[in-house]
A and B are shown apart, each in its own frame.
Chain A
């Protein structure tokens, strides 16, 4: 009887020790899984990133190059990857910035390269007394579905590409990737106030750019 009880507790002890060890191994595997070998990225995420780039760029060779640049940037920044988001989310976020950089270089229209120029542009939307000079028009659209329209998202990316690099970065980090102000400030080494001013200018510019390049045009087509 005593032996049976002894064996029961011994069994319980061994299984709990094994359980803890298994959990430790699983945790270790999971942690290493968040920072896999760069070569496995190509197998796991290469096709996804390529499709994503192709959808925005519509040029196979450029899409392939952007995927390559994304992987190289990820390799360089691998140590900074905290693993809070998944590897796929992290890689697609790098790719989105690469796409905007590419569109910016390619754009035949004037790209606002200077922060002072964007300040001037945004100030130009207002009269000296602070009232609207270029008044926001009514947008007849359902925002819940518009992101499904490729042409609209192309327009949005093209508008983003017209912004100075740092402004488009701040906007994308905040609105597309949902980072907090604190995270953005740490990533770009700027103050909170600076980030709010930058994102304000980006919003005003993008709102105007979308109105001009999309909403005005679709309104005319629907007439």
Chain B
């Protein structure tokens, strides 16, 4: 009789645990990155004079948003390095070459978050790993929530933006470091997720 009571108690605790886990999962919403309304742009200083801008046209990814518990949120992005576009086909060819991205060996650039921490109602700090040219480096970025709504099809959409700076030499991209092109590259992700 006592054994039966203990079994029922265990079962109740397990049910409560599963229940709470389900409620946590229910609050995490997964969005797919909308490539049409998202932008990945970068800028780098040329000959210590002006800034050159470029973008990647092809990428995909997912954003998991948990408003109640931001630590459960995450982001994953996969960028087609061959889609680099600076508005000049010769420069784009050069960027695909071993001097820069070496896209034949490393066709993808990826970012995978490892930790998300809430800073205030509209800002989170995202830590993650950026992999480019076969080298993975941890980066930290402040990500700002830019809005939420519905698109013309009635689908739920959400927007985020972040800007951070990387040193390209840390990813073995060393061409032109002697004054030709700066080491620091400012990267902006302006992402719209769609559900």
- Do these two chains interact? no
Question: Which A residues contact B (CB, under 8 angstroms)?
Answer: none
